[in-house]
Amino acid sequence: MNPIAFEFGPMTVYWYGVFIGSGIALALLSAYFESRRRRVNPDLIMDGALFMLPVAFLGARLYYVLFRWEYYSSHPEHILAIWRGGLAIHGGILAAMVFFYFYARKKNEPYLMILDIVAPGVVLAQGVGRWGNFFNQEAHGGPVSEAFISRFPAFIQRGMLIGDTVYHPTFLYESVWNLGVFAILMLIASRRTKPWGLIAGLYIGLYSLGRFFIEGLRTDSLMLGPLRIAQVVSLSGVIAAVLILWWIHHSKDGKESPSDPNQ
C-alpha cells in the first residue's frame, strides 16, 4: 500500500493528509449549512471553527506524543511528522471542546448551541479521516483468516495484507460507524424543536460507544499500564453523555434560542 497520493516537484502529498483535509472541508461545510438551517449566524460558527482547527490538531498530536513518549523522546525529529500518522482524535476533541467553551463565553453565545452545530461535521470528518489510516496501514486490528478477509472488497484485502499476515480492518468499522452516527445526528437535528445540547450529547455517547468496542480489536492502542486509554476515555464519554442527556431532559431552559442570523 503506497501512502503517497502524488508528488509535485519537491512536494510530497500523502493520502493521510488528503483524507484528513477532505474530512475537515466536509466538517466546515456541514457546520455552515447546519448553522444556516438552525438560524444561527454562520460567521459565528465558521470563525470559531477556523480558529479551533490548529488548537484541535495540536491537542490531537500532543495527546498521541505524550502517550508514546518512550518512542518520541528517542526520536524527537518525528514529533512534527504528522504525515506518518499519530493524531489521537480524543486529544483533538478535548482541545476543541475547551476552545469552544472560551470562544462561546467571549462571544456571549450558548456553549451547547455551538457544540450542537459542529458535532455532526466532526463525526463526518472522523469517518472520512479513518481512510487515511488505511493508506498508512495503521489503526488495524489483530490477525484474521483469509476466509474472513475475503468477505471484504479486494482493495481492502490488499491493504490489510501486511507482510504475510492479514488484519482486521478496524479503520473501516469505525468509519462506517461514524458515518452512521452522522446520519442519525442529522436526522434528529432535522426536527423542528429540540433542546440545545441534545446533538452534542448524542454525538459524545454514540461515538464513544462504538469506539469502546472497536478499540478492543486494535493492536496499536495507546496504553496506560494495562488499560487502553481510548477505552477509558470512551467509557467516560458514554457516562458523560448519559449525564448530559439526563440534564437536558430535566432542564427547564433546554429549548432552542437561536441567535439572530443577521447580526
8-53: pLDDT as tens digits:
888 888 898 899 999 999 999 999 999 999 999 999 999 999 999 9
Top pLDDT among 174 and 79 is at 174
pLDDT at 86: 75
pLDDT band at 132 (very low <50, low <70, confident <90, very high): very high
Cell of 101: 467553551
Looking at every residue in the chain, the average pLDDT score rounds to: 90
Q: Residue 257: CB partners within 8 Å, gap ≥ 6?
A: 110, 113, 196
Top pLDDT among 26 and 74 is at 26
Cell of 262: 443577521
pLDDT band at 118 (very low <50, low <70, confident <90, very high): very high
CA 199 from centroid of its chain's CA atoms: 15
pLDDT at 226: 84
Nearest CA to 256 out of 195, 185, 181 is that of 195
Q: Is 217 left (phi over 0), alpha (psi -120 to 50) or beta?
A: alpha
The pTM of the full predicted model, rounded to 2 decimals, is 0.89
Cβ(211)–Cβ(234) below 8 Å: yes
158: burial class by Cβ within 10 Å (0-12, 13-18, 19+)?
Answer: exposed
pLDDT at 117: 96
234-260 pLDDT tens trace: 999 999 999 999 998 887 555 554 444
pLDDT at 197: 93
pLDDT at 59: 93
Indicate if the pLDDT at residue 4 is higher than 90.
no
Mean pLDDT is lowest, of 26-40, 56-70, 199-213, for: 56-70
pLDDT at 153: 96
> In which residue are the cell numbers 471542546 written?
97
Question: Whole-angstrom Cα distance, residue 92 to residue 23?
Answer: 14
Cβ(222)–Cβ(230) below 8 Å: yes
Cβ(208)–Cβ(171) below 8 Å: no
> DSSP secondary-structure letter at 219?
S
Domain ranges in the chain? 7-180
Indicate if the pLDDT at residue 215 is higher than 80.
yes
Question: Whole-angstrom Cα distance, residue 197 to residue 253?
Answer: 11
Question: Whole-angstrom Cα distance, residue 260 to residue 240?
Answer: 30
> In which residue are the cell numbers 466538517 written?
27
Top pLDDT among 219 and 123 is at 123
pLDDT at 204: 97
